[in-house]
Amino acid sequence: AGDSYRRVHGDVSSEPPEWRAATDESGKPFVDIIYEKAVGEGIAKITINRPDRRNAFRPLTVKELMRAFNDARDDSSIGVIILTGKGTKAFCSGGDQALRDSDGYVDFDSFGRLNVLDLQVQIRRLPKPVIAMVAGYAVGGGHVLHMVCDMTIAAGNAIFGQTGPKNPPFFVSLSHPPPLLQSVSQVGSFDAGYGSSIMSRLVGPKRAREMWFLSRFYTADEADKMGLVNTVVPLAELERETVKWCRQILRNSPMAIRVLKSALNAADDGYAGLQELGGNATLIFYGTEEAKEGKNAYMERRRPDFSKFPRKP
Ligand code: S0N
């Protein structure tokens, strides 16, 4: 059994990496997140660190997440990024409702922001795979965050769902009645952007309507059956399994993965998706002799000679 498993899955180690604290070029310490890189491996891990709020995000959290994702993008030693939440109770419970005002979430500068939308776009366009490692609740804007990641590894205790349209006193749930919201009297929001379109793509239009209109919560196994997650593993195995997936990705061609990520998103992301895919084509073209002939001719003030390059069928 060991041999056939290795033939199918490869002999990838699931040994825990040695994580080292990281920061970005500003050197500013993070308050709401933990940013780490695996020593000697191309894995970055970004952890939302507000467990007492079930890892709800405020504008500062999002700002820091964007700094870390930017750094991981720019660091050429990093090939895959894990997004997770601190503790085992929640991946992320969405926007911090205590800070919600009439113009978004307010924590600094005293005006509201919905900067999580920028974070969603950043993850979607980031040319490296981002894996959501989910233990506990991934709900509301936290559910959208896992959906915009390229893959999701769920622990057996994970619970998924949208809460936006929900009226707390009348909660209904398939198999996991959530607790009544104590500090949140009314949710009253929706994500009509990626939170709707990507969900519909992932689980299909009927299920997506169910998830939003009924605002039910789903177990990890239910989410697995719906195509919302890639795999479900026991909670104790969550990080080991996620790291294993990362290591398997890291063995593969970074450029192939980069192009594939943009290709898989291109149609859904419209012009922005095509631009991302097109940018990758240009990136690859720059490396060819044909492109170099164009640049060299310009620098040498001569006509380029493209005649030596075949017009391939
Ligand atoms: C996650 C739940 C189910 C966990 O239940 P559990 O384990 O029983 O814990 P609780 O006792 O309920 O919570 C523990 C403490 O954590 C606080 N807390 C939990 N979630 C939040 C939160 N989202 N914001 C602020 N605080 C939170 C609790 O208050 C409690 O604190 P203490 O100990 O002091 O009492 C359960 O907690 C739950 O259902 N949480 C709320 C889930 C939710 O509705 N989230 C918000 C949904 N909306 C969004 O995320 C919108 C996001 C967004 O930015 C957006 C994006 C696109 C378009 C629009 C929007 C938009 O904002 O409208």
> ipTM value of the model?
0.96
Q: How confident is the model at residue 8 (pLDDT cuts 50, 70, 90)?
A: low
Given a cut of 90, whether residue 129 has pLDDT beyond it is: yes
Q: Residue 134's closest CA among 238, 228, 244, 248?
A: 238
How much is the pLDDT for 7?
A: 65
Q: Which of 32, 54, 99, 100 to mutate to test the pocket of ligand 1 (most atoms within 8 A of CB)?
A: 54
Closest atom of ligand 1 to 192 CA is 58
Q: Whose CA is nearest to atom 59 of ligand 1?
A: 191
Task: Determine the average pLDDT of the residues in 89-102.
Answer: 89
Given a cut of 80, whether residue 103 has pLDDT beyond it is: no
How much is the pLDDT for 109?
A: 75
Q: How confident is the model at residue 300 (pLDDT cuts 50, 70, 90)?
A: very high
Mean pLDDT over the full length of the chain: 91
**CA–centroid distance, residue 29 to ligand 1 (Å):** 25
pLDDT tens-place string over residues 233-288: 999 999 999 999 999 999 999 999 999 999 999 999 999 999 999 999 999 999 99
Q: Do 56 and 94 meet the contact criterion of CB atoms below 8 Å apart?
A: yes
Structure tokens at 215: 């605002």
C-beta atoms surrounding 210 within 10 Å: 16
Largest CA distance in the chain: 75
Q: Do 155 and 232 meet the contact criterion of CB atoms below 8 Å apart?
A: yes
Q: Do 203 and 226 meet the contact criterion of CB atoms below 8 Å apart?
A: yes
Partner residues linked to 33 by β-bridges: 48
b/e per residue, 213-226, with b = 16+ CB within 10 A? eebbbbbbebbbeb
Which carries the bigger pLDDT value, residue 169 or residue 303? 303
Given a cut of 60, whether residue 180 has pLDDT beyond it is: no
DSSP of 46-71: EEE--GGGTT-B-HHHHHHHHHHHHH
pTM > 0.95: no
How much is the pLDDT for 165?
A: 83
Q: Whose CA is nearest to atom 25 of ligand 1?
A: 96
CA distance 92 to 88: 11
How much is the pLDDT for 102?
A: 75
Residues with CB under 6 A from ligand 1: 53-54, 56, 89-90, 93-98, 114, 116-117, 137, 139-141, 163-164, 178-179, 181-184, 187, 189, 191, 195
**CA–centroid distance, residue 97 to ligand 1 (Å):** 6
Q: Return the ∠ at Cα 202 (arms to 14 and 283), rounded to 5°.
A: 70
